[in-house]
Amino acid sequence: MSMKTYDDIAEWYNQWIGTHSMSEDPFFPAVEALIGEVKNTRICDLACGQGRVARYLANRGAHVVGVDLSAKLLAIARRQEETDPRGIEYVQADAQNLDTQVLGLFDGVVCFLALMDIPELASTLHSVARILQPGGWFVFAILHPCFHTSRSGEIETSEGAVRTIGRYFVEGYWRSDTRPGPPGKIGAYHRTLSTYVNTLTDAGLQLVRLSEPVGASTAVASHVNRPIWEEVPSILVASCRKPKEGIIT
């Protein structure tokens, strides 16, 4: 039996995410803080899904190209663009092999909670490096690899809930029947923290800053709003930069 893709769950995923804006998302402020000012910049929203991040950045004056492999999620994004135009271009393409002649070069690339859904990390990060201008930035958020593995959960102790972690060093595809979100529907790909950092370096991207936002205190994030996420981080956010020409070969 083949693994499901986002095309298989597009309508469910769109309803699960809801209609709230990125300003209401409990984790996006940490991403936005690392992105900085976007007005009049050209940004690629990589694995854009139904275009929530793309619309948010376009509202702040960015020229946005949204890229996703799922035709059904892109159809939802394009319907939004037709209803309320923001000048966003949506392109169906594989993040693991982006065509620079089609996409051009960008001042920045953002990938919000999607990098762990893509099978091949190295080819994806090389694609990001190819489409960035020298000196351009790459900001991504992922499920924190130290606290989301194929064997992870919670136990109650006399002092409260404790996050339990196993199989951290076992990389690759996993899916959990107990997870309510995409990891339960289509699965995800686990990599160690060192794999992420080393693969970024191998792609020629310099790690600039990390952020581990605390908890999820809003009703919008009810699917992750549990006390344990006040104790350990659910999400890891990273800012990277493509060196200017001549610094790193």
* pLDDT tens digits for range 100-114: 655 679 999 999 999
Q: Token pair 């050209």 is at which residue? A: 42
Residue 144, pLDDT score: 96
In a domain, 31, yes or no: yes
Alpha carbons within 13 angstroms on the beta-carbon side of residue 73 total: 27
Average pLDDT over residues 129-151: 95
In a domain, 61, yes or no: yes
* pLDDT tens digits for range 35-65: 999 999 999 999 999 999 999 999 999 999 9
Cα 96 from chain centroid (whole Å): 14
In a domain, 189, yes or no: no
Token pair recorded at residue 14: 């769109």
In a domain, 212, yes or no: yes
Structural domains of the chain, count: 1
Query: In terms of pLDDT, which residue wins out, 178 or 222?
Result: 178
The CATH number of the domain holding residue 116 is: 3.40.50.150
Three-class SS of residue 89?
strand
Contact at 8 Å (CB) between 179 and 109? no
Q: Token pair 């499920």 is at which residue? A: 143
**AA identity, residue 166:** G
In a domain, 225, yes or no: no
- Look up the pTM and report it: 0.90
Domain range for 66 is: 10-144+194-219+233-241
**Nearest residue to 241 via CA among 202, 200, 213:** 200
